[in-house]
Every structure is written in structure tokens, then in C-alpha cells.
A and B are shown apart, each in its own frame.
Chain A
């Protein structure tokens, strides 16, 4: 069904495109929220991604690849949204005090909170690769294709992202306020 709707949207059919937005909104919103960790920012990014998709959809050669292509558009929009807001800081919405989840409902709430806080210290590159792999279950090949990067880069980026997440979950130390110079060079 989708391919025909995509094909109609490519010909400028706004009704078809609206149907496409309804069908794919939840999917893209989940990813935007996964990366940005802020529901309002995620909704803005999702809507902007759909506008970018409308603008570029004629350049999509194969409608069967719409889903993968839409992730790529969305990720670009997320990067742009963050760049546009230099003061951007993701909402810390999962602190145990604010979200009254029982510990036995989600395992350790404290650990979830630790993950949330650690994740918020990650760069956009690292967040994106973690979301694509762990939320969408994308293979490294699919991630490489979605982000338009070599397979080796996708592999090393995911490894580093997990390493960075683990490090970010550790209690802060005084010297971590400024990155070590070798991190800047590398």
C-alpha cells in the first residue's frame, strides 16, 4: 500500500502525503524522542522531517526505500534542531522523583535514571547510533546505509558510543569538566 501512497505523494498529492504522515508519525517520533530526549523538541523535529520529506520526495528513486530514507531525513533534522539551539539541554524527565514508577515495574528505576543521565551526556553521533541499533534493531549495515557512513565507521561508532555511555554513567570527577586534549585531537 505504502509504495502507491509514496508514489502519489511524489506527484504532489497532498492527501496521500497526509496519509503518509499519519502512518509514519509514531515511528519517526519515537526515533526523534530517542535521540533528543525531549518530547516537544522531538515533535518539532518530526514535523520538520515530514516537511523535508515532502520537499525532497521526488528525489527518492525507489518508493520501497521510503522507510529507510525517512530515518536519514529525520536524523539530519535532529542534528539541525540541536545546532539551531546552542543552549539546548535535553529534559531530564525520568528522574525517580518526577516519574513515580515502581521499581519492580521496570527493574531498577535508579538504573534507568542513571542510563538516562548518561545518555544525555553523549554526542549526537553516539545517541543516533545507539537509538538506531537498540531501539530500531537496525543492523550495522543498515545503520551505515541510513547515516551514509562506511560500515567500519558504524561499527566503531557504536562501540565508542556504548563505551561513552558507560563512562557517562560513572559519577563525575572534577577533571572531566574539560575534555582531555588527546580526546580533542582524536
Chain B
């Protein structure tokens, strides 16, 4: 990294007059808390390629009797990693687990998902919802940035811990969103195509949705006078909101809160019409 600040930052980081805590005292404190912390088992139950050294080869070399008077020392592998017994046991286990799943979920079993076929549920009336996005949350993943044919592509930026406060509790909750952006220079203007993926969560369930928009940024313009970005987002419910959809218009103005208005309804959007025939 050829950043001109690198030497200064490196020097500042490494030069410290901080007195570290006593490692022995910390170790004793950690050890005193160990009985309350249960060690988790390895999730993969079969042998792994790495085999733990059981004793230090320098302290206790393994000796075997030899017929020619020498006593060779074995420092490498002393047993097969996968014996026939282990292979048979692993195979039996796979069949046992597979069988258990088939028994637990026989074919043609009615679904227990609310609103699914075979279960009668009360129709839920549509509701108009209004509210605001009141916080942006924190960046938990930076976008990767690449320049492709003059297009500034940013992918996979994630923010978590944002919040929607709506007049309907079903859409009130914590929000995370992922963004993909394509920025193009048009004259002096940065025209940025925005594709967002959203997830709204609360204790009852969640909503996930996507929406596109475009942002125009004039370099040097007063940020407080920027045009709003308007997102039209279609969400699908899960958990207690299974079978419900929400269509929200979300306006991003220069400052929070960002107003939201939309509709919760059962079912799906109407299908897109076919285009009129070309003349």
C-alpha cells in the first residue's frame, strides 16, 4: 500500500507507552471462568486430515522394536486415517440420518406453513401504512469497488441496524440493506444506478424485498439541497407475515427521517401486461 501516510501511521501504531496488563493475572482470571464455559464439539464428526500430535516428538519419541538391532524413531503417521471400520460406520450413519428424515417427513404430508394449501386461514384485510426510516444503521460490510469500462461498480455494501418506525407494527423493526451501485459520469453529473436488497425484521417475522432507483449527484452541490431518491420496493413476508406482500415507496431526502408510504396486502403484484403491438 503506497499511501503517503503509511510510515506515520505505522510509527504511531507501533510506538506506545502503554503498560500491558499482567498476563499471569489475566490468565488466572480467565482460568477461573473456564468451568462456566463449555467447550463445543467439532461440527464434523468424521476424521479430519490433520491429526493431533498426542505427545511432543522431541520429548517422547515413539520407539518400536527392530530385528536388526536398531531402534528406529517414527515421527510421521502411525495409523491409517480411514480404516474400513470407520468407513462402514460413516456409511451406516449417513443411511440412518437419511432414514430418520424420511420417517419424520413422509411424502404428501400436509404443510404447516400458515396460508399454505390444506390449512384454512382468515383472510387478512389490506392496510395502508405510513412511517419513516429513522436511522441508517452501521456499515457492516464495505462494498468492493471496480472500474469496468468507465462504470464505477460498487458491490455488496451492507448496513445493519437501521430502523423503520411505521404506524403498522408489522413493518416496524430493524432493517438491514445491501447495495449494488453503478456510477457513470454524464457531463459533470454522477448518475448512479442503485439496486438495493432490504430485510425488515421484528419479533413476529420478517420482510425481504428489492428496489431500484437512480441518483444524480452534482459535484460541489449543497448536500442539503439534493433531490430525493425515490425507491419503489416490493416485499415478501415471512414468519407471521407469510402469504403477505408489501409495496412501499421510500423517499430518501437529504436528511433523516425518510418518509415511507405503502400497502400491505395478501397475494402478489398484478402480472405485468404484454406490450401493445408495435406499429
Contact = CB atoms under 8 A, between A and B. Distances in A.
A99 B31 contact: no
A186 B39 contact: no
Contact of A152 (B42, B144, B194): B144
Interface in A59-73: 59, 61-63
19 contacts: A7-B52, A21-B31, A22-B24, A26-B20, A26-B23, A30-B20, A47-B33, A55-B37, A123-B139, A150-B144, A156-B143, A157-B142, A158-B1, A159-B3, A162-B5, A165-B9, A185-B192, A186-B154, A186-B179
B54 A58 contact: no
B50 A62 contact: yes
Interface in A1-59: 1, 3-4, 7, 10-12, 14, 17-19, 21-22, 25-26, 29-30, 33-34, 39, 43, 46-47, 50-51, 54-59
A149 B155 CA distance: 13
Interface in B1-59: 1, 3, 5-6, 8-18, 20-21, 23-24, 26-31, 33-34, 37-43, 48-50, 52-56
Contact of B194 (A14, A39, A131, A185): A185
Contact of A21 (B30, B41, B55): B30
B159 A184 contact: yes
B252 interface: yes
Interface string B131-168: 00000101111111110000000101101000000000
A106 B144 contact: no
Contacts of B252: 181, 184-185
Contacts of B238: none
A112 B16 CA distance: 11
Which bucket holds chain A's interface residue count? 35 or more
A7 B142 contact: no
Given A55-B40, A181-B226, A186 B143 contact: yes
Contacts of B30: 18, 21, 47, 50-51, 54
Given A7-B53, A175-B223, A160 B40 contact: no
B229 interface: yes
B161 to A, nearest CB: 8
Nearest to B49: A61
A55 B39 contact: yes
Interface string B155-193: 011010000000000000000000101000000000010
B266 interface: no
Tell which of A21, A55, A130 has the most Cβ of chain B within 10 Å.
A21
A172 interface: no
A58 B41 contact: yes
Contacts of A22: 23-24, 27
B110 interface: no
Interface residues of B, number: 71
B13 A59 contact: no
Interface of B: 1, 3, 5-6, 8-18, 20-21, 23-24, 26-31, 33-34, 37-43, 48-50, 52-56, 136, 138-146, 154, 156-157, 159, 179, 181, 192, 194, 215, 217, 223-224, 226, 229, 252-256
B159 A25 contact: no
Contacts of B48: 61
Given A21-B31, A22-B23, A51-B30, A134 B37 contact: no
A7 to B, nearest CB: 5
- Nearest 8 pairs of A and B residues by beta carbon: A25-B23, A21-B27, A135-B13, A134-B10, A7-B52, A162-B3, A180-B223, A22-B27
B217 A115 contact: no
A46 B16 CA distance: 18
Interface in A63-104: 63, 99, 101
A162 B165 CA distance: 35
Contact of B23 (A21, A34, A111, A157): A21
A111 B8 contact: yes
Contacts of A19: 27
